[in-house]
Amino acid sequence: MYKSISLEGKVAVVTGGAGGIGIETLKMMVGRGAKVAVVDIDQQRAEQAVHTLGGDVHAIAVQVDLADEQSIIEMTKKVIGHYGRLDILNNNAAALSPEMAGKDNDVEHMESWLWDKSYAVNVRGAMLVIREFMPELVKSKGNIVNTVSNLALQGHIIQLAYSSSKAALIQLTRSVAASHGRKGVRCNAVAPGMTMTPALKEAFPEHIRLMVEAETLRDQLGEPQDIAEAIAWLASDAARNVTGQVLTADGGLASHVPGFGPFSNMINDTGEV
């Protein structure tokens, strides 16, 4: 492993750490030498994630409700009380249950509770986590990686609450990078496309997955480890000159004109339509 991508001696927090992308990110970080805190709303799942990481790593499980300010304050105290420092913060958690995904449609049909919960967790919660950990990140000259979404960069006819909250998180990313860059703190975001996590497989029917897959420039949708690689790279010294940026990791989905899927099916082996 190149020295610049090593995380040896670093302490990392991953919120939503018991989920698909979260657990893969934790695996990658501990594999590169980091001590980690698995932070999740479900304490039991967080403890299972710690068990999955293995008994020979430095990992703790900490419960948090990102919609509850006091819960966030208590979580940060537990992490710092245990490790004494923080170097890497990955705001990965999001409000994206199957129920929410199924009802998150256009503005005409938006339910207030869904909108409020999306912003309470995805934006306000992330901001509060950053606020509470920032003194430690300034001390360590650490960095923040926020997990957003390629939907935050494009318009869509569904998922209004989720996509707009993630767009707000992008602006939070840029603002934190600007306000704390001279204090030694970097802040970036990773924007995954549709990623084959267990939660996504539960929330989205097969025909929607196939529609998105047809527009992807790879021959498959991304896996959680693909996003974990991007997060771990941004968290490492290899990305020391990168801050205030959004790294889109969507398999090229957002890079081409509309209708790529149908057009690609029309092209023959000689490149003619």
Residues marked active site are found at 162
Number of H helices, E strands in the chain: 11, 7
As a whole number of angstroms, the distance between CA 244 and CA 215 comes to 28
Nearest residue to 143 via CA among 180, 93, 108:
180
Q: Which amino acid is at 198?
A: P
How far is it, in rounded angstroms, from Cα 222 to Cα 144? 22
The span from the CA of 261 to the CA of 2, in Å, is: 38
**E strands, 5-162, in order:** 11-15, 35-40, 59-63, 88-91, 143-147
